[in-house]
């Protein structure tokens, strides 16, 4: 936290700026530029306001927060729509049952409290799977003025007014106004594509543990560690069976560290590939329903390499306060969570929470950073030391000439126009450089505006897509003074694109 304050990262600034009222209704004419202006400028503003209220709230390294439980059987999302009679909307949500099967009902509410049910979703709970929240959407027509959205558990016993004690998480709720002139056109809407990232759990098989390793980096002590062969993909979360005295006091922070490992010499590499710090007094918040302690740990792994991962207590006093035990079933010491991204007919990969929806007259792609560790998983590639920072809730990189991170924005279908918005994390002058490319080779810098004492603001609309491509790369790198301890990143990253309908065969 001290490091981030030193560099002027404004943690609450994004929420303050995004919560705005926007009740404009735009009539889409036949002129292309007017349609683009609506899709890429006006509509995204309203969606940003809504998404911020319902973005991922997975706290403390993998422990999922329940939005609905026995004491609170419903959740209200205020001011999500400002409808008139005859308006058509699409409401999309992600929901996950945390204890048992659930039936959820979705309503819209007038300013006077009258409810209109627009749909329901059946949630299936399976404790043996690592599936993420389920996405569902509902298209509906309003018969008057509605403002709020309510998601409510089905009442099991109407006489006793009893709701079962099962918990439900609602990590995403969003609503979009559709451009539908005739009611019969609703049947022509294409299915919504959503970047619903599932999780694959892998328990590391016992191989070599720290006591078997012959050589560690200088001045390093691992209270526990394990060698494992790389798995192709991104690592998101680590779960362990941690034992410690809750009344004990320990000064300093423990650190999960990932290193390379040389099997013939049983030597741990000196360089830290990825790291995550935690304190003893914060462990209670990391305890999940499975009885394991969860730690955010976002990095990419290579199936052709061997790694060592361990907990260093070099900076902690006293020692021997914390230990790692085997799982109760004896299967191992560590469980990895690896995300599995949504593939669209093998044509492209949607990032987490990216969405392609049929607006009636065109298709719209939307994506914005979630301010969770999934932002780091969404990265296409990185250079230098790049990580997701829990305090900043953003992806950050060390401020040196070799650090950068790149997004690959794949709209699946060739876009007609693409709107890019970003904001620097912090207020250092000219600290961040943004560039875009169609091939990840030839780059064009994106200009920015910066008022004294404010963050860099990036805003670019690409109207012409003569290449007829669907993929754009965006690279974020450090451009400030190369002083030791500098960090850089974005606290806002948003993409909106407009695509023609029925272009699925023209994908690049």
- For residues 249 and 192, what is the distance between their CA atoms, to the nearest angstrom? 51
Least confident window among 180-189, 327-336, 339-348, 361-370: 339-348
Tokens representing 8 are: 């002027």
Task: Give the model's pLDDT for residue 39.
Answer: 40
Has residue 181 got a pLDDT over 90?
Answer: no
Task: Give the model's pLDDT for residue 157.
Answer: 60
Read off the pLDDT of each residue in 99-108 and give the average, rounded to a whole number. Answer: 92
Torsional sign, CA 157, 163, 167, 171:
positive
Q: Provide Rg for the chain, Cα atoms.
A: 24
Task: Give the model's pLDDT for residue 448.
Answer: 94
Tokens representing 496 are: 């909106």
CATH 2.60.120.260 fits 1-56+347-508, yes or no: yes
Least confident window among 89-93, 190-194, 482-486: 482-486
Has residue 326 got a pLDDT over 80?
Answer: yes
Are residues 90 and 81 in contact, defined by beta-carbon separation less than 8 angstroms?
no
Tokens representing 75 are: 């959740």
Task: Give the model's pLDDT for residue 202.
Answer: 86
Highest mean pLDDT among 368-377, 435-444, 455-464: 435-444
Boundaries of every domain in the chain: 1-56+347-508, 58-178, 200-340
- For residues 124 and 130, what is the distance between their CA atoms, to the nearest angstrom? 12
Has residue 232 got a pLDDT over 50?
Answer: yes
Are residues 78 and 19 in contact, defined by beta-carbon separation less than 8 angstroms?
no
Task: For 58-178, give the CATH class.
Answer: mainly beta
Read off the pLDDT of each residue in 426-444 and give the average, rounded to a whole number. Answer: 92
Q: Which 3 state secondary structure label does DSSP give 51?
A: helix
CB atoms within 10 A of CB 35: 20
Least confident window among 100-114, 281-295, 433-447: 281-295
Read off the pLDDT of each residue in 251-258 and give the average, rounded to a whole number. Answer: 90
Least confident window among 9-18, 266-275, 298-307, 456-465: 9-18
- For residues 122 and 102, what is the distance between their CA atoms, to the nearest angstrom? 6
Phi-psi category of residue 47: left, alpha or beta, with phi > 0 → left and psi -120 to 50 → alpha: alpha
- For residues 140 and 184, what is the distance between their CA atoms, to the nearest angstrom? 13
- For residues 375 and 395, what is the distance between their CA atoms, to the nearest angstrom? 7
Highest mean pLDDT among 59-73, 121-135, 161-175, 429-443: 429-443
Name the CATH architecture for the domain at 200-340. Answer: Sandwich (2.60)
């Amino acid at each position: 936290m001290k490091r981030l304050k030193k560099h002027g990262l404004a943690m609450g600034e994004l929420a303050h700026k995004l919560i705005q009222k926007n009740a404009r209704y735009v009539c889409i004419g036949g002129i292309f530029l007017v349609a683009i202006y609506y899709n890429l400028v006006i509509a995204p503003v309203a969606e940003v306001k809504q998404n911020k209220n319902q973005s991922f709230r997975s706290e403390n390294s993998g422990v999922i927060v329940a939005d609905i439980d026995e004491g609170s059987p419903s959740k209200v999302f205020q001011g999500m729509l400002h409808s008139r009679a005859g308006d058509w909307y699409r409401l999309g949500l992600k929901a996950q049952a945390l204890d048992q099967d659930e039936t959820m009902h979705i309503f819209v509410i007038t300013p006077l409290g009258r409810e209109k049910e627009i749909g329901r979703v059946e949630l299936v709970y399976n404790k043996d799977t690592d599936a993420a929240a389920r996405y569902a959407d509902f298209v509906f027509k309003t018969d008057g003025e509605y403002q709020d959205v309510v998601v409510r558990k089905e009442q099991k016993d109407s006489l006793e007014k009893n709701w079962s004690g099962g918990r439900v998480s609602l990590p995403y709720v969003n609503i979009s106004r559709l451009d539908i002139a005739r009611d019969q056109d609703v049947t022509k809407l294409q299915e919504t594509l959503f970047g619903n990232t599932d999780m694959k759990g892998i328990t590391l098989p016992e191989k070599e543990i720290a006591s078997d390793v012959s050589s560690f980096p200088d001045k390093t002590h691992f209270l526990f560690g394990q060698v494992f062969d790389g798995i192709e993909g991104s690592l998101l979360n680590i779960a362990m069976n941690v034992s410690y005295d809750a009344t004990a006091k320990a000064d300093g922070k423990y650190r999960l560290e990932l290193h390379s490992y040389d099997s013939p010499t049983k030597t741990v590499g000196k360089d830290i590939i990825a790291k995550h710090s935690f304190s003893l007094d914060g462990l209670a918040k990391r305890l999940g329903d499975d009885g394991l302690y969860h730690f955010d740990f976002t990095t990419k792994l290579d199936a052709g390499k061997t790694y060592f991962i361990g907990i260093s207590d070099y900076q902690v006093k006293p020692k021997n306060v914390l230990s790692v035990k085997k799982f109760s079933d004896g299967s191992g010491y560590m469980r990895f969570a690896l995300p599995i991204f949504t593939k669209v007919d093998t044509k492209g990969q949607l990032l987490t929470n990216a969405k392609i929806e049929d607006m009636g007259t065109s298709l719209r792609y939307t994506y914005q950073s979630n301010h969770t560790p999934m932002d780091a998983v969404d990265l296409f590639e990185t250079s230098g030391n790049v990580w997701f920072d829990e305090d900043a809730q953003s992806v950050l990189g060390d401020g040196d000439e070799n650090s950068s991170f790149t997004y690959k924005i794949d709209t699946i279908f060739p876009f007609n126009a693409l709107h890019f918005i970003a904001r620097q994390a912090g207020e250092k002058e000219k600290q961040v450089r943004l560039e875009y490319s169609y091939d990840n080779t030839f780059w064009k810098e994106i200009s920015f505006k910066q008022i004294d004492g404010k963050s860099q603001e990036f805003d670019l609309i690409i109207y012409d897509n003569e290449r007829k491509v669907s993929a754009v790369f965006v690279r974020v790198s450090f451009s400030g003074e190369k002083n030791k301890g500098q960090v850089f990143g974005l606290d806002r990253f948003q993409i909106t694109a407009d695509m023609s309908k029925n272009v699925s065969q023209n994908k690049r």
